[in-house]
Amino acid sequence: MAHDKAAVRKILDKIKAEGRTSLTAPEGKLVCDAYGIAVPKEGVATSAAEAAKIASAMGFPVVLKIVSPEILHKTEAGGVLVGVKSAEEAEKGFATIMANAKKYDAKANLLGVQVQQMLAGGQEVIIGAVTDPSFGKLVAFGLGGILVEVLKDITFRLAPATREDALSMLDGIAAAEILKGVRGSDPVHREALAALIQHVSELISDFPDITEMDLNPVFATKSGAIAADVRIVVDFSPAPARYRPSHDDIVRDMNRIMKPNAVAVIGASTEEGKIGNSVMKNLINGGYKGEIYPINPSAPEVMGRKAYKSVKDVPGVIDVAVFAIPAKFVAQALVEVGEKKIPGAVLIPSGFAETGNVAGQQEIVDIGRKYGVRLMGPNIYGFYYTPKNLCATFCTAYDVKGKAALSSQSGGIGMAIIGFSRSAKMGVSAIVGLGNKSDIDEDDLLTFFEQDDNTTIIAQHCEDLKDGRAFAEVAKRVSKKKPIVMLKAGRTSMGARAASSHTGALAGNDKIYEDVLKQSGVIRARSLRDLLEFARAIPILPTPKGENVLIITGAGGSGVLLSDACVDNNLSLMAMPPDLDAAFRKFIPPFGAAGNPVDITGGEPPKTYQNTVRLGLEDPRIHALILGYWHTIITPPMVFATKMVEVVDEMRAKGFEKPIVASLAGDVQVEEAAEYLFAHGIPAYPYTTETPVAVLGAKYKWARGAGLI
Amino acid sequence: MAHDKAAVRKILDKIKAEGRTSLTAPEGKLVCDAYGIAVPKEGVATSAAEAAKIASAMGFPVVLKIVSPEILHKTEAGGVLVGVKSAEEAEKGFATIMANAKKYDAKANLLGVQVQQMLAGGQEVIIGAVTDPSFGKLVAFGLGGILVEVLKDITFRLAPATREDALSMLDGIAAAEILKGVRGSDPVHREALAALIQHVSELISDFPDITEMDLNPVFATKSGAIAADVRIVVDFSPAPARYRPSHDDIVRDMNRIMKPNAVAVIGASTEEGKIGNSVMKNLINGGYKGEIYPINPSAPEVMGRKAYKSVKDVPGVIDVAVFAIPAKFVAQALVEVGEKKIPGAVLIPSGFAETGNVAGQQEIVDIGRKYGVRLMGPNIYGFYYTPKNLCATFCTAYDVKGKAALSSQSGGIGMAIIGFSRSAKMGVSAIVGLGNKSDIDEDDLLTFFEQDDNTTIIAQHCEDLKDGRAFAEVAKRVSKKKPIVMLKAGRTSMGARAASSHTGALAGNDKIYEDVLKQSGVIRARSLRDLLEFARAIPILPTPKGENVLIITGAGGSGVLLSDACVDNNLSLMAMPPDLDAAFRKFIPPFGAAGNPVDITGGEPPKTYQNTVRLGLEDPRIHALILGYWHTIITPPMVFATKMVEVVDEMRAKGFEKPIVASLAGDVQVEEAAEYLFAHGIPAYPYTTETPVAVLGAKYKWARGAGLI
């Protein structure tokens, strides 16, 4: 349905002219009418027949009210009839009211009878909208009433929302079941409710001036959804436009920055312990094959390379300049970088916004914009890009190559990433520090890694998103191709929010992140360790082709815990068809249990694991396997591990490939077995039943979000 | 208030005699009256003055209704007045009703006017009771209404509940805030509501025949709580009494079993790979110093020890017999164990109830009862008790001595315990397999470990509790002295429950475990890894003396994640007093942040960590510290670790001792630092901000439950 933008614009212009910050109820109704947002219908009848006609058109029950400038106390005058249920009743009611009114005040001017749709019953819900500093316009949906306020059961989507977004919101609240009709109550009209959400989201998107909005309550019934009360808040001071380079510009510049052919180190030093010395060492010892240009005003050479006083003195093209000089010298050097037309500056130095030096940071941002230099940082450890053997950091060199690209807002978390990656032998394509994010941020990285063939998964730690909307837009696209995992820190420090609407007050900042990340197909990690484990395991797992997960376990106890973990991670334990059950039973002892989990029991030889896993890989109805290994003398850990890899290889050669994860219960030898399995494509973990299922769950979450299952 | 048990007994007897399974509404009212469970008050007035008096006594508003056998349609007769709000109105109302009735039917016999308390407003809640197969009688509390049914927001306590238990239930639901009055509504009368819960719990405890009960809805207002509807279900088939040895008997027998002076190995074997051979090797190689008697019908000696055909042939006293023979021979050998008056049998063999051989298991249980032999298992790996160097298992020997006692229902989980313990160098006093739990179960172990000076923490894995009530009773006592951690598996497979009451239908099995474990002071682990990490760290941490937790971090990013984890784990980040803030600021750079977290910033030398941690330990307002370490060249991991241990030792010598945990972000060298810190009393973890806070949270949970803070 086409919305009447002009009508809304006219109302908003009037409010702006009058210097008001909110709409009156009649203005709200007009705005709703313009955007197909259902509010109670009303009309004035001047005859009984007309009353019946109007009432029939809007549907029963209706309320009839006398319209007369002289009659202020309508009820006292017998001028109100509620719960009018039929055309006949409406006709009679018109007559009754007119007669009562005449009797009440013979001199009164009776203009007619107002017929108004009567709202009652159904489920009370709230639909609203807020403007978030990072994500911009968001539409909200929740159940109405006091209890929901206490439970904060509300969900958000970026506006404008599609029909699918809106429908997903109905399932996005904890009490979703209630909308489907419980204890004999009617289900709500889902399409009508979704349309209301969608129209609100379109309204607030079309008019940036509308900052907050409440439809509260909305009565949702089996036949429709109508907003009983409308509240709209406006703010005519325009938010400053955000700087956003074009997609192609980002790709071009980020490719030169991340995969440079020549790197300048501003502040390159021969002095042990200096950052400029560590960066030089890492570049050289890391095995970077491109040109390295030390920039140093006094030294003729650094670590055997000719040094230059300024980047401007370097004869060749430079792709990226790594800054290893104090904050106060950065601006001047950055101008030279700009003049040299270097597309990227890696700003290791601290001493900017994080220490209160906001002006200093703004100065370098302005220089960057002026010269078209993209800034990474400041206040970072730098970055690694392993396909180029590039360690543009002052930390230790990192060399376990792989497909996972990680980034962190904080240096400390960056060091944890490096340590874990090295310790767990996680194959990494890049580790990037984003620090103050004066310019380059998460969505720039997503845009680069999207087209980077050396990267298959992107894992990011952040404390905030400077431009949540840009991130969401890019993430929505990229996540369809490559899994994105995010650890959003600060999720529990919701802070105080000034909000004048009800929806605004319910909008805990973290709930917005939660919902928008989900809407964008991003897998949210709940902990640092999850971020790291997901980054390590997800790229190794093949993508599942369906939802049927099967547990095969030697330990019944592990089977129970693995089942718990499946429920926790939204995985569907396959209901075992009788023929498959019989097929599994052939391989396991009579007192073992088929069904799901398949419990092969503890005393079995390697053959039993092999036979059941082979069957699990072969049968097309099964889409993923979770193994529960129990250390026994008859099947020691490394025997289990090597046999499992054999079966998987054998079946892969036959064209059967499915995600498999393993939980290993046993003595310390299971650690070596886990490492072997991991190195051969089976994420395996000792002493935990939760982690293997969590990583499989994350893979599934991604596959579902990307529309692959 | 004394309850009228006789009145209830009389009603139940009548129902039993009539073969009914539930009470009528009037019967329900009588039962409620007998137990001080408020239901709407009523009385009949024969004069206007009396109507006013009765109404005033019960409180307004009231409903007045004509009492006359001839008047069936009271409303039509003008014989009903609702919402009567004062004594005066009641007097007038009496007159009005009598006059209306007389006018309606002059011949009617007017017996008077019924005055009934009018229920309305306030918060609708539900109070109920169920009988759980494991926990017995439980009282339940939740909010009323359809939404709560969808959200399953209900909480349980063992019946009878104390006033404190009942009050804790009001805070035990997700929507607890609503009872305190929100959006201007009145708070409920907490004591009245708690009394209602308490009385219900007493009623169902006093009368085992009452199996389920619903007060639904209960109207809770600021002045009281009244049950508008009562439903009581009875079952007169008595549940069989559970076998429970006395506390002293358990202690006596368990001490002999766990700390034996002489062990018999039934089925001791010289043959490599046999369980009876592994058990012998473990006993001997584990360093057990007591007598070991191999029992073998054919071998004259086993591993250099004289073998006997039967335990009855052994000349000395035997404390425990370890069974390493097939299931079919167990019963006979157990009789001999009984005749030899051995107090305990460790039944390693499988082939009993777990394979469907229920009769075989019942047979050995009966033998055990007959002879007074306590049975561990069957279907277990055995047990370890390190203070006696006792490895009565067929698994590998375990030797890292310490204070943590662990048990598992499943063998696989037992192996994970052993592997983790060895790998993480967790000091262990005992590891026990409980398997089928035909006799010895979790509460027997609690009773033993309670008085075992070698144990300071008890960590248990279970899939069910055979006697949840016994466990809860023992755990409630023991947890006051020693922390108990439990991993309850199968928590998500709630199964279908046949329940005829509303409360019963809401009683998901896991919610009962959740609430009862909490009521018993047990720390619930959410995962296998948590169970293990808690068992490892809790005994090391000193008990905090208050709730004020302070984070000191080198990495701001870690500080944010550690703060998140504090909220997740119910820890209170101390609000920093100005003088303390100033004191910390003296030690940190000007751009660092005091407050909480204290962010010392990344580039600081060891001295800064030392100074701030010393201050944190010294100031009596701070009760626990969480450290966030960031690996830098100026403060490398092992330097940080050794300096921290120095400060802690120095302060301990001065009498300052507080729990400290640490999260280490850095390159792989932090792993060695974590190990060093752990070994010196500071639980420390690399690459995770969650685990250190989770273990501190678990320690706090215990300390609160035990009433120590």
Burial of B384 by CB count in 10 Å (0-12 exposed, 13-18 middle, 19+ buried)?
buried
pLDDT for A147 equals 67
| pLDDT tens readout for residues A50-92 | 999 999 998 888 989 998 888 878 888 889 898 899 999 999 9
- Paired with A393 in beta bridges are A382
**B400, B424 Cβ separation under 8 angstroms:** no
Which residues does A601 contact at the CB level (< 8 Å), separation at least 6? A554, A556, A588, A589, A591, A592
B149 closest CB neighbour out of A143, A183, A669:
A183
Which structure tokens are listed for B175? 């929507």
Main-chain dihedrals φ then ψ at residue A51, nearest 5 degrees:
-60, -45
pLDDT for A569 equals 95
A614 to chain B, closest Cα gap in Å: 23
Higher pLDDT, B498 or B530: B530
Which residues does A74 contact at the CB level (< 8 Å), separation at least 6? A65, A66, A80
Nearest Cα neighbor of A507 from A175, A136, A208, A196 is: A136
Mean pLDDT computed over every residue of chain B: 92
Give the gyration radius of chain B's Cα atoms.
Answer: 32
Averaged pLDDT, B507-535: 92
A184, pLDDT greater than 80: no
A positions 156-185 inside 8 Å of B (CB)? 174-175, 177-178, 182-183, 185
Q: Is A687 left (phi over 0), alpha (psi -120 to 50) or beta?
A: left
A422 closest CB neighbour out of B463, B532, B668:
B668
Q: Name the E strands within A377-483.
A: 382-385, 390-393, 401-408, 428-433, 457-462
CA B74 – CA B78 distance, rounded (Å): 6
pLDDT for A75 equals 81
Averaged pLDDT, A430-447: 97
Residue of A nearest to B148 (CA): A175
| pLDDT tens readout for residues B587-621 | 998 877 778 999 998 888 999 999 999 999 999 99
Whether residue A527 and residue B631 make contact (CB cut-off 8 A), yes or no, is no
Residue of A nearest to B487 (CA): A561
| pLDDT tens readout for residues B89-101 | 999 999 999 999 9
pLDDT for B395 equals 87
Residue B383: count other Cβ atoms within 10 Å of its Cβ: 25
| pLDDT tens readout for residues B419-469 | 999 999 999 999 999 999 999 999 999 999 999 999 999 999 999 899 999
CA A308 – CA A302 distance, rounded (Å): 10
B409 closest CB neighbour out of A182, A420, A557:
A557
B positions 398-457 inside 8 Å of A (CB)? 408-413, 415-416, 418-420, 422-423
Model confidence band, residue B75 (pLDDT cutoffs 50, 70, 90): confident
pLDDT for A496 equals 30
A663 to chain B, closest Cα gap in Å: 10
B350 to chain A, closest Cα gap in Å: 10
B527 closest CB neighbour out of A416, A670, A690:
A690
B415 closest CB neighbour out of A408, A422, A666:
A666
Which structure tokens are listed for B638? 């092992």
Across A10-24, A682-696, B141-155, B431-445, least confident range: B141-155
Nearest Cα neighbor of B647 from B693, B614, B603 is: B614
A508 to chain B, closest Cα gap in Å: 15
Which residues does B490 contact at the CB level (< 8 Å), separation at least 6? A560, A563, A564, B463, B464
| pLDDT tens readout for residues A189-215 | 999 999 999 999 999 999 999 999 999
Whether residue A415 and residue B688 make contact (CB cut-off 8 A), yes or no, is no
Residue among B275, B352, B410 with most chain A CBs within 10 A, to mutate: B410
Residue B532, chain A, CB below 8 Å: the answer is yes
pLDDT for A498 equals 37
A422 to chain B, closest Cα gap in Å: 7
Cα separations (Å) of B646 from A16, B149, B543, B654? 67, 56, 20, 13
DSSP H stretches of helix in A523-659: 528-537, 556-568, 578-585, 606-618, 637-653
The complex scores an ipTM of 0.90
Residue type, A530: D
Averaged pLDDT, A651-655: 97
Percent of the residues in chain B that have a pLDDT greater than 70, as a whole number:
97
With beta carbons under 8 A apart, name residues in chain B contacting A178: 146-147, 150
**A596, A583 Cβ separation under 8 angstroms:** no
H/E stretch holding A66: strand A62-67
Residue B686, chain A, CB below 8 Å: the answer is yes
Averaged pLDDT, A645-654: 97
B330, pLDDT greater than 60: yes
Higher pLDDT, A495 or A573: A573
B402, pLDDT greater than 80: yes
pTM, two decimals, is 0.91
CA A232 – CA A25 distance, rounded (Å): 9
B55, pLDDT greater than 50: yes
Cβ burial B394-432 (10 Å sphere, 16+ → b, else e) = bbbbbeeebbbbbbbbbbbbbbbbbbbbbbbebbbbbbb
pLDDT for B146 equals 73
pLDDT for A1 equals 57
Model confidence band, residue A497 (pLDDT cutoffs 50, 70, 90): very low
Model confidence band, residue B498 (pLDDT cutoffs 50, 70, 90): very low
Most confident range (mean pLDDT) of A39-43, A393-397, A614-618 is: A614-618
Residue A688, chain B, CB below 8 Å: the answer is yes
Across B144-148, B552-556, B693-697, least confident range: B144-148
CA A675 – CA A684 distance, rounded (Å): 7
With beta carbons under 8 A apart, name residues in chain B contacting A558: 410, 412-413, 416
CA B524 – CA B546 distance, rounded (Å): 21
Whether residue B416 and residue A687 make contact (CB cut-off 8 A), yes or no, is yes
| pLDDT tens readout for residues B531-566 | 999 999 999 999 999 999 999 999 889 999 999 999
Across A315-324, A653-662, B230-239, least confident range: B230-239
Averaged pLDDT, A532-539: 97
With beta carbons under 8 A apart, name residues in chain B contacting A273: 633
A12, pLDDT greater than 70: yes
Map tokens 């694991």 to a residue. A609
Q: What is the pairing mode between strands A484-488 and A457-462?
A: parallel
B positions 584-603 inside 8 Å of A (CB)? 591, 602-603
| pLDDT tens readout for residues A580-590 | 999 999 999 88
Residue of B nearest to A567 (CA): B492
Model confidence band, residue B74 (pLDDT cutoffs 50, 70, 90): confident
CA B178 – CA A478 distance, rounded (Å): 43
Averaged pLDDT, A396-407: 91
Nearest Cα neighbor of A688 from B529, B536, B415, B489 is: B529
Which structure tokens are listed for A681? 């494509």
- Give the number of beta-carbon pairs within 8 Å between A and B: 239
A507, pLDDT greater than 70: no
Q: Is B685 left (phi over 0), alpha (psi -120 to 50) or beta?
A: beta
Model confidence band, residue A148 (pLDDT cutoffs 50, 70, 90): low
Q: Name the E strands within B79-201.
A: 80-84, 112-117, 123-132, 136-143, 154-158
Across A450-454, B368-372, B495-499, least confident range: B495-499
Residue B642, chain A, CB below 8 Å: the answer is no
pLDDT for B148 equals 66
With beta carbons under 8 A apart, name residues in chain B contacting A423: 668, 671, 686-687
| pLDDT tens readout for residues A670-682 | 999 999 999 999 9
pLDDT for A495 equals 33
Model confidence band, residue A469 (pLDDT cutoffs 50, 70, 90): very high
Averaged pLDDT, B487-513: 62
Residue of A nearest to B185 (CA): A146
B423 closest CB neighbour out of A396, A411, A668:
A668
Which residues does A332 contact at the CB level (< 8 Å), separation at least 6? none
pLDDT for B500 equals 46
Residue A560, chain B, CB below 8 Å: the answer is yes
Map tokens 């959006």 to a residue. B183
pLDDT for A73 equals 80
Cβ burial A187-226 (10 Å sphere, 16+ → b, else e) = ebbbebbbbbbbbbbbbbbbbebbbbbbbbbbbbbeebbb
CA B576 – CA A568 distance, rounded (Å): 37
pLDDT for A228 equals 85
Model confidence band, residue A335 (pLDDT cutoffs 50, 70, 90): very high
pLDDT for A502 equals 55
CA A493 – CA A50 distance, rounded (Å): 58
| pLDDT tens readout for residues B76-135 | 888 989 889 999 999 999 999 999 999 999 999 999 998 988 877 788 899 999 999 899
Percent of the residues in chain A that have a pLDDT greater than 90, as a whole number:
80
| pLDDT tens readout for residues B148-186 | 678 888 999 999 999 999 999 999 998 899 899 877 788
A655 to chain B, closest Cα gap in Å: 33
Across A106-110, B70-74, B259-263, least confident range: B70-74
| pLDDT tens readout for residues B360-378 | 999 999 999 999 999 999 9
| pLDDT tens readout for residues A545-554 | 999 999 999 9
